[in-house]
Amino acid sequence: MSTYKMKPGKIGKAAIGAYQKVEEKFVDTFLEEDGSLKTGGMAEKVTGACQKVEDAVVGGYKKVEDAFVNAFLEKEDDGDAVKGRHGEK
């Protein structure tokens, strides 16, 4: 199995930070503290809308994730990953 390591760069940090902000806003907007949906009396409509938003966000995130992996990560052999963790070459 291959493992990945981060390539250095400001853009990678910016992409991660941007995603975290979107995730936090989504949680604040649609979820209660216990993780349940904020639906009130319109449960079916809100749940359906949330599902559409989730599908769009997940689909969009997957595209961003794939682009991020292609731009900032590189595959390592398992042996390289172990050596890299211990500073050996």
Tens of pLDDT, residue by residue over 19-78, are 889 999 888 888 888 877 776 666 677 778 878 888 888 888 889 888 988 998 888 877
Cβ proximity of 75 and 4 under 8 Å: yes
pTM of the model: 0.36
Residues 23-32 pLDDT 10s:
998 888 888 8
What are the domain boundaries of the chain? 3-85
Structure tokens at 7: 């390539």
